[in-house]
Amino acid sequence: MSNGKTGKLLLWLSWILVSGVLIAMFAWKIQSEPGVTDQTIFMPGPLTSGHHQLKDNCNACHTDSFAEKEDMQKACTQCHGEDRKKPMDSHPRNKFTDPRNADTLENIDALNCVTCHTEHKPEITLQNGLTQPADVCFHCHKDIADDRPSHKGMAFDTCKTAGCHNFHNNRALYTDFLVKHMHEPDLKEKARLPAREFSQVLEEIIDYPRDKYPVTPLTVPGDMDAPAGKSNESVQHEWLDSSHAATGVNCTACHVYSNDKESKREPVWHEKPDERGCASCHQLEVSRFTRGKHGMRLNADLPPMKVSDARLPMMSEAHSKSLGCNSCHAAHQFDTRKAAVEGCLSCHADEHSKAYKGSKHAALWEKELVGEIKDGEGVSCASCHMPRINYDVSEWLSRIMVDHNQNASLSPNSKMIRPACLHCHGLEFSINSLSDGNLIKNNFQGQPVFKTDSIKLAEEDLKRAEAEIKSVGED
């Protein structure tokens, strides 16, 4: 009998031991800082394509343990807040905090992002990260057919898929805009992209280090301020040919980080400077870069993205590359024309990318490269995906800059219409083309098959409104 008791005691002790080991392991994992140990074991499901790069840092979204709903909301807006304000967002937060719309909140909690965008739920994740059923608009707009007879008989899961509406960014699709741009030709007469303005506005950028690097051309190797032995002939040539040399940007401007200088430490020479070297002059570009998928890991204190991390098809030989400014802007030439096409195609291997070289856009770009047509008349990858936008640098200054957050004009792709397509194409043609999946795959070789009714509907609404106004006037 005593043996039985000892056996049982042993069994209990072993159980306590096993549980103790398990608990200790889990406890250590859950409280560890990101990067110390793999915490994916606690993930309730795989991440969406938007966030999957953040899997190594749970804290990027789960900022605090035992966080409240508000903390989670804060984490969302920390990255996505800028786009959630009017006019970028057609359903901004203040629309729902407005007491007149309080009843809509009873249908759906529109104040919190996670209501419609729950993470870790691939099973119910639709396009653009929506985790509500596709007819979610029904909650608030179920009476739309009464207000707009033209919408009679339309299914609620087509609001966002028929080229008419986006929940957030609707800037290229709202009625007034459609009316304003109706009857535009497919290809505009003056089809040309705006020119960049960085060199023109240099004088007005306050934190530009003009004291150290005055805007005067540097023309001979003797001008270089690199320490002895740090440069060679080919570097000299490349730099002297670059616009950097032409505007007085010397070696140390990139190779010594400005914040090093501020902290009064001995200036450190960085052999291969990263985005911190660029940020002293191109702060805006760098910050936009860290908002997109190329640079988002930097924003979450993670090492840069590796090409192999991507979920899109990539060139196999590029898998080991990691992404920084130099991935596209090769030192020391910094040739933006190379960056605009070769930079992309050295990694991306999806159908759309591979079809580019055979497209009309590419043919124009080839002509621009050899000078047959003017700057801005060719269409590179960057023309659409890193469009030249008029960006408000400060309250009194805006400039045309290249948006290095390529995701800002994607998902849904109608966000690309205003910054890119409309420079050359009519609105109807643009909407139709972007709604045509095959056309996107073959990089727009051919005419859109799909015809959206949105402009026609807008026109009808306009006529109806005019008629109503007229009848009121007659009364």
Partner 1 sequence: MSVVLTEPDPLLYEEVDASTTVEKPVVVIGAGPVGQRVAEDIARFNPEQSVLVLGDEPYQPYDRVKLSSYLSGDVDSPWMPDVTDRHSNIKKRLGTRIARVERKVKKVIDTEGNQWPYSKLILATGSRAYIPPIHGVDLDNVFSFRNMADAEQLKARTISSRHTVIVGGGLLGLEAARAMRRFNTKITIIEQSAWLMFGQLDEQAGQLLISQVKSRGIDVLVNSRVQSIHGDGRVESLVLSASKKIKCDTVVIATGIKPNIEIAKDADLNTRVGILVNQRMQTNDSDIYAIGECAEFQSKVYGLVKPGFEQAAVAASNITQGKAKYSGSQLVTQLKVIESPVFSIGETNSEWRRREVIYEDKTSGKLRKLFINGNRLDAALAIGEWPEFARLQEAVTKNKHAWPWQLARFSQTGSLWPVDEEAGVLAWPAEATICNCMSVSRGDLSTAIDKGCRDVRSLADTTGASTVCGTCRPLLQQMLGAVKVEAVRASRLLTTGAVISLLVIFAFLLSPNLSYSETVQYEWHWDMLWRDGDIKQISGYVLLGLSAVLAFISLPKRARPKRINIIWGDFSIWRAVHVVVGIALLAVLIAHTGLRLGHELNMMLMLTFCGLLLAGAVLSASVGMQHRLPLLVSRTARQWSLKAHIYLLWPLPALLGFHVLKSYWY
Looking at this protein, which amino acid is placed at residue 74? K
Block residue for tokens 């096993």? 18
DSSP characters over 250-289: -HHHHHS-HHHHHTTPPPPPPSS--HHHHHHHHHHHHHHH
469 makes contact with partner 1 (CB under 8 A)? no
Q: Which of 241, 301, 226, 214 is nearest to 271 (CA)?
A: 226
34 makes contact with partner 1 (CB under 8 A): no
Q: Which of 28, 32, 35, 45 binds partner 1 (CB under 8 A)?
A: 45
Residue type, 182: M
Question: Are the CB atoms for 379 and 388 separated by under 8 Å?
Answer: no
Contact flag: residue 120 with partner 1 (CB under 8 A) = yes
- Report the sign of the C-alpha dihedral through residues 404, 408, 414, 418, in that order: negative
CA distance 460 to 384: 31
**The token pair that represents 382 in the structure block:** 């960057």
**Site mask, partner 1, residues 58-97, x = CB under 8 A?**
x---x--xxx------------------------------
**The dihedral sign for the CA sequence 91, 94, 97, 98:** negative
Reading the block at residue 332, the tokens are 């020391």
Name the residue nearer to partner 1 (CB basis): 8 or 319: 8
Nearest partner of 361 among 242, 267, 443, judged by Cα: 443
Under the criterion CB under 8 A, does residue 18 sit at the interface with partner 1? yes
User: Interaction with partner 1 in 139-158: which residues (CB under 8 A)?
Assistant: 139, 156-157
Residues 152-211 contacting partner 1, CB under 8 A: 156-157
Binding residue for partner 1 (CB under 8 A) from 135, 274, 366, 453? 135
Binding residue count for partner 1, defined by CB under 8 A: 35
- Binding span for partner 1 by CB under 8 A among 133-141, 265-273, 358-366, 392-400: 133-141
Q: Which is nearer to partner 1, 55 or 212 (CB)?
A: 55
Closer Cβ to partner 1, 47 or 347, answer by number: 47
Supply the minimum distance, in Å, between the C-beta of residue 412 and partner 1. 20
> Binding residue for partner 1 (CB under 8 A) from 49, 90, 112, 132?
132
What 3-state DSSP class applies to 324?
A: coil
Q: What's the closest the beta carbon of residue 79 comes to partner 1, in angstroms?
A: 18
Other Cβ atoms less than 10 A from the Cβ of 298: the count is: 19
DSSP state letter for 226: P
3 binds partner 1 (CB under 8 A): yes
- Which among 20-28, 160-168, 187-195, 229-237 is the span making contact with partner 1, rule CB under 8 A? 20-28
Which residue type is seen at 255? H
Which residue, 61 or 417, has its beta carbon nearer to partner 1?
Answer: 61
- Rounded distance, CA 163 to CA 450, Å? 10
From the CB of 75, what's the least distance to partner 1, in Å?
Answer: 11
> Which amino acid type is present at position 99?
P
Structure tokens at 374: 């003017």
**Applying CB under 8 A, which of residues 19, 97, 219, 447 lies at the interface with partner 1?**
19
Q: Does 315 bind partner 1 (CB under 8 A)?
A: no
Binding footprint of partner 1 on the chain (CB under 8 A): 3-4, 6, 8, 15, 18-19, 22-23, 26, 30, 40-46, 58, 62, 65-67, 120, 123-124, 132-136, 138-139, 156-157
